[in-house]
Amino acid sequence: MNQILYTGKGKSSGPASLKSILKTFGISMIALGVIFLGEGSYALYENYRLSKEFVDTSVPEIAFEQEENNAVVTITHNKGINKVRYHWNDEVETIIDGKDERKVILDTISIPAGVNTLHVQAVDINGKSVDKFYEFAYDGICIDLSVIDNTYMKITATDVKGLTSLTFKWNSEDAVTAYSNAETPTVIEQTTEIPTGLNTLSITAVNSENKTLTKTQDIKGVHPPKIKLFIQDNFLIVHVTDEEGIDKIIHQINVEEEQVIEVGGAKEYKYKYNIADRDNVLVTITAIDIEGVGRTYKGKNY
């Protein structure tokens, strides 16, 4: 009878086989977990990288040009432009509504005489802003006029290339000529009294290249009234004159209430005030002419 010898090789369903299966399963799950964790981390990194790439940090772009004696400013942006602010040097700024356009052009900014700095700020619809400045030079001769105290005219001629002379005259009077100096060759200034009434001021400036600029302007000379005060026989005498005519006089003695005298256009007016029983009189007189030009005089110890 043949006997079959069992050697222990072959299938087994005992405890050792179950442990092997569980161990293999555990290793597989750990491997899958590592794979999923790696993929999740990579996805998070990619999302972060893409979000950084697509964050828009752009601001408006500002470009400057000069056309004759006008500054041209062009603002462009990939978003709407909310507003634009600009000013020369330290002067008051001008604000322009960008109307949320992506391109704004400012082409009517006049360049002042001499060399000046234009400051520009552009703000987009998200509140992001950029500031830039540019230096512009007025090309050629410039003549500016300004009135001082209704009485004097200040004439200023400038040229960044240098000036030779400045000549001016009122009406048909003799001309007055001023010359430049080595310290300020680009500017010539002159101050002249404005004659009463309507007058014609003629000005000619010559630069270092022998180019000229002539300016003629009608100017009405309006002078404030003249006020004189003096004492006579215990009276304070007030004497007011004006070539255009006096409208009214307002006077106050010490802390008394102001009194108004209607004059009605007379070119001369005189009145007196009794100060016999007063010491250390403080008087304030304001005279206004028919053109609305006034002068105030204060005096004391009359």
Is residue 34 in a domain?
A: no
208, 240: one domain:
no
pLDDT tens digit at each of 302 positions of the chain: 444 444 444 444 555 566 666 566 566 666 555 555 556 566 666 665 555 555 678 999 999 999 999 999 999 999 999 999 999 999 999 999 999 999 999 999 999 988 999 999 999 999 999 999 999 999 999 999 999 877 899 999 999 999 999 999 999 999 999 999 999 999 999 999 999 888 999 999 999 999 999 999 999 887 889 999 988 888 889 999 998 899 999 998 888 888 999 999 999 999 998 887 777 788 899 999 998 889 999 887 65
Q: Are strands 197-207 and 163-170 parallel, antiparallel or unpaired?
A: antiparallel
The count of domains in the chain is: 3
Based on the domain organization, do 69 and 110 belong to the same domain?
A: yes
For residues 15, 18, 19 and 20, what is the CA-based torsion angle, rounded to 10 degrees?
A: 120
User: What is the structure's pLDDT at 38?
Assistant: 56
Task: Show the tokens assigned to 139.
Answer: 């090309």
**31 within some domain:** no
Residues 216 and 152 in one domain: yes
- Its pTM stands at 0.58
- Which of 137, 161, 180 is where one domain is finished? 137
**CA–CA dist 74, 244 (Å, integer):** 51
Q: Do 193 and 251 lie in a common domain?
A: no
Give the residues across from 262 on adjacent strands: 248
What residues make up the domain containing 70? 61-137
**DSSP 8-state code for residue 113:** S
CA distance 83 to 299: 53
Which of 163, 34, 186, 55 shows the shortest CA–CA distance to 116? 186
> Within a domain: residue 52?
no
Amino acid at residue number 234: N
Give residue-wise pLDDT tens across range 30-80: 655 555 555 656 666 666 555 555 567 899 999 999 999 999 999 999 999
CATH number for the domain that contains residue 183: 2.60.40.10
The domain boundary, picked from 80, 106, 137, lies at 137
Query: Does some domain include residue 43?
Result: no
Whether 86 is covered by a domain: the verdict is yes
112 with 146, same domain: the answer is no
Residue 168 included in any domain: yes
> Of 205, 221, 237, which marks where a domain is finished?
221
Q: Tell me whether residue 35 is in a domain.
A: no
Task: Note whether residue 189 is domain-resident.
Answer: yes
Give dist(CA 118, CA 12) in Å, integer: 94
Strand partners, 81: 101, 124
DSSP H or E segment with residue 226:
strand 226-232
Which are the contacts of 162, defined by CB distance < 8 A and separation ≥ 6? 180, 185, 186, 207, 208
DSSP element (H, E) containing 28: helix 15-53
